[in-house]
Amino acid sequence: MRTQVAIVGAGPAGLLLSHLLWLDGIDSVILEARSREYVEKRVRAGVCEHPTVELLRQVGLADRLDAEGLPHHGITLRFDGEDHRIALTDLTGRSIVVYGQQEIVKDLIAARLKAGAEIHFEVSDVELHELTGDTPRVTYKDADGVVREIQADVIAGCDGFHGISRPSIPDSAMTVYDHVYPFAWLGVLVKAPPAHHELIYANHERGFALHSMRTPDVTRLYLQVDPSDSLDDWPDERIWAELHARLAISGGFALHEGPILERLLSPMRSFVAEPMRHGRLMLAGDSAHIVPPTGAKGMNLAMADVLVLSRALKALLRDNRTDLVESYSDTCLRRVWRAEHFSYFMTSMLHRAHDADPFQHRLQLSQLRYTASSTAAATSLAENYVGLPFP
């Protein structure tokens, strides 16, 4: 098989890249280890930054997002038993939209297949070859176990943190920055209407909690837990008891309970691999960087990466220019490190380490009170939260 760009991974990054390339008349083939059903049901991020929403609208992928997404014009910081609203739109003129990552994936897959794109699901044994040459190759087994090969001009590694793309780069050609946080998130998807119309970030002496939503009838809730915990440690009764305790406020808060549809445990880490390019292999999204979910940046960073990458590949494959490919990593990493810092700031301000001393907690409260009372501090948080302009 011959194509211009072989894309490994059919998540938001790989699918959007394929769509952007198609708009520029560039061929691509997508390989995905999971089934279509799996990737369309995999619940992940839900906050779309303003630049992400605008990009999806510009490239014709926002019809369902505009019809079903939930626009938010603020978020709430909950501490000291009170709510403190950060008015995102009033402070920045921009907003966010809550629309599940799996819904974006559904929209992208439908659009790519309608355009005749090649998406090969349930592939295995993927290997990348000759990455520093002009014609890199990808070998794999298809869903029937038949060995296949793709010859390409470029390979885009959009296969996430645990994918094959980043490990295909020699250790000597990459610098890795890794920070593991001393806590994890327990997330539950609940069949119940949200108890608040905006996201609530709660700092509590028992640990962090987040109240979010996916639809008007489905609530997304998170608890800070110990990284050594398992799902067996958290029966329904304990989950609801902690949520009620951590989300309580002095005036009362009626958290809506309902059947738990899904639960997962996620470690908290920051990770960056530099550079995001090795020869004709370009990394994008989680294959190159991970942020803790507190800042709601993961999927949005992937969207920014592939926008930059699509422009670079257009310059390379249509105009025979190499400058944008050569600057791709540096351009993306400036945004990545800003997002890393913002996510670290949000995580450090809101979570309680199990061994934190009273001094550290007082510093957290000081930062929260300053952010809630200072227009300048609130504007800085809001500007980063709604998303800085794409490059």
Res 15: pLDDT: 98
Q: How far is CA 213 from CA 89, 104, 167, in A?
A: 19, 16, 35
Half-sphere exposure of 316 (CA within 13 A, CB side): 21
Q: Is 10 helix (H, G, I), strand (E, B) or coil?
A: coil
Looking at this protein, which amino acid is placed at residue 117? A
Looking at this protein, which amino acid is placed at residue 297? K
User: How far is C-alpha 259 from the geometric centre of its chain's CA atoms?
Assistant: 26
Contact between 149 and 125 under an 8 Å Cβ cutoff? The reply is no
Res 171: pLDDT: 95
Residue 2 DSSP symbol: B
Res 391: pLDDT: 79
Half-sphere exposure of 54 (CA within 13 A, CB side): 12
∠213-234-250 over CA atoms, to 5°?
A: 55
Q: How far is CA 84 from CA 78, 79, 369, in A?
A: 6, 8, 9
Q: Is 9 helix (H, G, I), strand (E, B) or coil?
A: coil
Closest by Cα among 149, 185, 120, 134 to 346: 185
Question: What is the total residue count of the chain?
Answer: 391
Would you say the pTM of this structure is higher than 0.75?
A: yes
d(CA 195, CA 186): 19
Work out the number of other CB atoms within 10 angstroms of the CB of residue 230: 8
Q: Is 26 helix (H, G, I), strand (E, B) or coil?
A: coil
Res 340: pLDDT: 97
Residue 381 parent element (H or E)? helix 375-386
Contact between 287 and 274 under an 8 Å Cβ cutoff? The reply is no
Res 376: pLDDT: 98
d(CA 32, CA 14): 9
Phi, psi of 370 (to 5 degrees): -65, -45
Closest by Cα among 106, 97, 100 to 45: 100
Res 358: pLDDT: 85
* Domains along the chain with CATH numbers: 5-71+96-177+269-346 (3.50.50.60), 181-267+352-386 (3.30.9.10)
* Environment class of 26 (CB within 10 Å of its CB; exposed 0-12, middle 13-18, buried 19+): buried
Q: Write out residues in the chain with pLDDT < 70, as ranges.
A: none
Residues that are catalytic: 72, 201, 293, 297, 385
